Amino acid sequence: MAGSGADGGSKNGKAKPGDKTGEAGPGDSNGKAGRISRGGKTGRSGKDGKAGRSGKAGKDGASSGSGKNGGLKRPLYEKELFRLQAELVKLQEWVRAERARIVVVFEGRDAAGKGSTIKRVTQFLNPRIAQIVALPAPTEREQTEWYFQRYIRHLPAGGHIVLFDRSWYNRAGVERVMGFCTKEEYGRFLHQCPLFERMLVEDGILLRKYWFSVSDEEQQPTPAARTRCSCTPTSPRRHGTSWRATTSAARGST
């Protein structure tokens, strides 16, 4: 470990083995980042966890580019976001020129940031090339069709990108929990889903899947602060019942 304080190095000025790493030592009272230890010089860093010149994190492990709760500071976030969005525009041009097909599946817990991420991804993309698909509750006719059929209608042609805001994985999540499907249908989905996705990939579609998660503490206040539309069956444990959209306004809340 790097030396700290007055005894950070040896008396003859040679660096101890730990000094070569340039790691920051304990912080001083004023909270300022110190210099890396070299040849007996002190290697102090502040109590607030800011890194020294070596760029390594201090006591709290937060780098100089970190913001609140360990996230990126706003200026750095916006700069990196703009850079990545420029790369997405390049990807779009490649898809158009090569007549490629891309399917991106966005799944996750409610209030995990899925919708805002899709918004950032498509912000500078051409809506004629990159399309967002967010299917509503299935109709009575769709409930009698092959489960994957309603999603196949929205698969991209050459030179297009389709982003699914929720997808066929609803059957493994919401539908199973809320009783929208039978145990047999759920088991059939688990068997057919890998085969279905394998056919997509074998046909040349570039399939990417992302799962968004959020802690219970972060998730709890968000639905209460907004008007949510949740699809619930009229009889929760009966398969084949109709779906209805219920909002907080419909429940009599303000």
Q: Domains of the chain: which residue ranges? A: 1-71, 102-223
Average pLDDT over every residue of 179-194: 93
pLDDT value, residue 84: 95
State both tokens at 74.
């706003």
Cβ–Cβ < 8 Å for 36, 53? yes
Torsion angles phi and psi, residue 120, rounded to 5: -70, -35
Q: How many angstroms separate the most distant Cα atoms in the chain?
A: 86
Sequence-ordered list of residues with C-beta below 8 angstroms from that of 221, at least 6 positions apart, any chain: none
Taking the whole predicted model, whether its pTM rises above 0.85 is answered as no
For 48-57, the pLDDT digits (tens) are 444 444 444 4
* Pair 137, 231: CB distance under 8 Å: yes
**Which range has the worst mean pLDDT, 17-31, 65-79, 199-213?**
17-31
Structure tokens at 235: 């009889």
Q: CA-CA distance, 33 to 12, in Å (whole number)? A: 25
pLDDT bin (cut points 50, 70, 90) of residue 72 is confident
Mean pLDDT of 99-112: 89
Q: Residues near 70 by Cβ (< 8 Å), separated by ≥ 6?
A: 61, 62
Kindly report, residue by residue over 126-179, the tens digit of the pLDDT.
999 999 999 998 899 998 999 999 999 999 999 999 999 999 999 998 888 888
Mean pLDDT of 207-228: 71
pLDDT bin (cut points 50, 70, 90) of residue 212 is: confident
Q: Measure the CA–CA gap between 233 and 27, rounded to whole angstroms.
A: 59
Note the helical H segments in 203-248: 216-219, 221-224
- CATH architecture of structural domain 102-223: 3-Layer(aba) Sandwich (3.40)
Helices 74-98 & 114-122 angle (0-180, nearest 10): 60
99: tokens are 């007549």
